[in-house]
Homo-oligomer: A and B are copies of this chain.
Amino acid sequence: MLDKTDLLILEELSMNSRITMKELGEKVHLTAPAASARVAKLEDSGIIEGYTININQEKLGFHIHAFITIITQNTYHQPYLSFVKTQVEYIINNYKISGDGCYILECKFPSNELMNQFLEELNEHANYKLSIIINK
């Protein structure tokens, strides 16, 4: 099971996953090989799923960040799901949900124009409610 040191390691790696094992070790009071072994264990157990980066989407030209709640009229979701697959450049996440709607789409768009185009195409397959993110 996980102890306090493992949780500290997860916290440190969440803040900076490119930290060296030496530095990580210092933060959690271990030597580099010990820290490295802990991390390897966390990877093997599947607790650490992967190493990634946070990208500033605004600076890449995606000025709009939105959640779209999807309500499919009929029980057959395939047309909607197929559509989603064609729009990977705008879609951050597609969550299947229970509650108010069938899916929640997390999206990014460079402009209102392209978002509008997306929504029009989306509307061929499902109804939706749009929530634009103002702040995080």
Q: Which residues of A contact B (CB under 8 A)?
A: 2, 10, 13-18, 45-56, 59-60, 67, 69, 93-101, 104, 129-136
Which B residues are in CB contact (< 8 Å) with A52? 13-17, 51-54
- The minimal Cβ–Cβ distance linking A87 to chain B, given in whole angstroms, is 16
Kindly report how many copies of this chain are found in the complex they form together.
2
Knowing A56-B46, A95-B67, A104-B67 touch, does A51 contact B133 (C-beta < 8 A)?
Answer: no
Contacting residues, chain B, for A53 (C-beta < 8 A): 10, 13-14, 17, 48-52
Closest to A60 in B: B47
B95 and A136 within 8 A (CB): yes
Partner of A16 from B50, B98, B130 at Cβ < 8 Å: B50
